[in-house]
Structure 1
């Protein structure tokens, strides 16, 4: 596959997951302010960048790559939050709550990706089974 096309697909995939998570966060009153276009676009771009980074990781050893992914994703999120003015740099309570929220959201993102991957895999397997049955006849 063309590398640019692959990066584009990964970016869009990241935006899909990020958009779902952001909508879920808006459903719970985590963001105090009304979302602005700047907030929305920065989150979409952040999610796309995370999607590209996630897709470019060739996960052979989860013990190494998962912590790297976790930290890089954390840094991308913190950068986006700084851009939106959502960080309280010297408030330890903020950082504690942010860390807990980040862990929960990170877990939800992995769950969405896992479930999505399983659905795609089941669809592919079903199509292959149908094709094999048709070829046997």
Structure 2
């Protein structure tokens, strides 16, 4: 369990860092980044990584897991934005949804590659046993 928590935290920090770099690249944040901004992004990212543990729950259907994850992520992002006194304009929703879809696409590709890697290892092991 600790391994899953750690992996999710690291993934959350990675996705959060990438999102913040995109925010800076496209000049969505118009103020100079501060230590406060960076720490709040890191804390939010850890939170999103921890919320992602909901996908380990086998009692909920995937759509319910996804909805809870989306809502939890949205809450963390909005709290972080208020903490940093950033404006929630109409473009926020477009950017939020776009980044959420991009991150889900990246996660899906990562999972697909992991499954392919495991299948290849299983296939090799079966060949070696014969």
Report the TM-score range of the alignment, normalised by the length of the smaller protein: 0.7 to 0.9
115, 122, 130: which one aligns with 2:124: 130
9, 19, 24: which one aligns with 1:26: 24
CA apart distance, 1:8: 2.3
CA apart distance, 1:64: 2.3
Structure 1 stretches lacking a partner, 5+ long: 89-93
CA–CA separation in structure 1 for the residues paired with 2:20 and 2:113: 22
53, 56, 63: which one aligns with 1:55: 53
| 2:75 alignment partner in structure 1 | 75
CA–CA separation in structure 2 for the residues paired with 1:30 and 1:63: 31
SS at match of 1:34: coil
Q: Please state if 1:64 is matched with 2:38.
A: no
CA–CA separation in structure 2 for the residues paired with 1:7 and 1:79: 22
SS at match of 2:30: coil
37, 40, 44: which one aligns with 1:39: 37
CA apart distance, 1:126: 1.4
Give the alignment's TM-score, normalised by structure 2. Answer: 0.84
Please list the CA deviations of residues 94-137 of structure 1 after superposition, one character each: whole Å capped at 9, or x if unmatched.
Answer: 1x21111111111111111111111111111112212221122x
How large is the Cα RMSD of the aligned pairs? 1.9
Give the alignment's TM-score, normalised by structure 1. Answer: 0.80
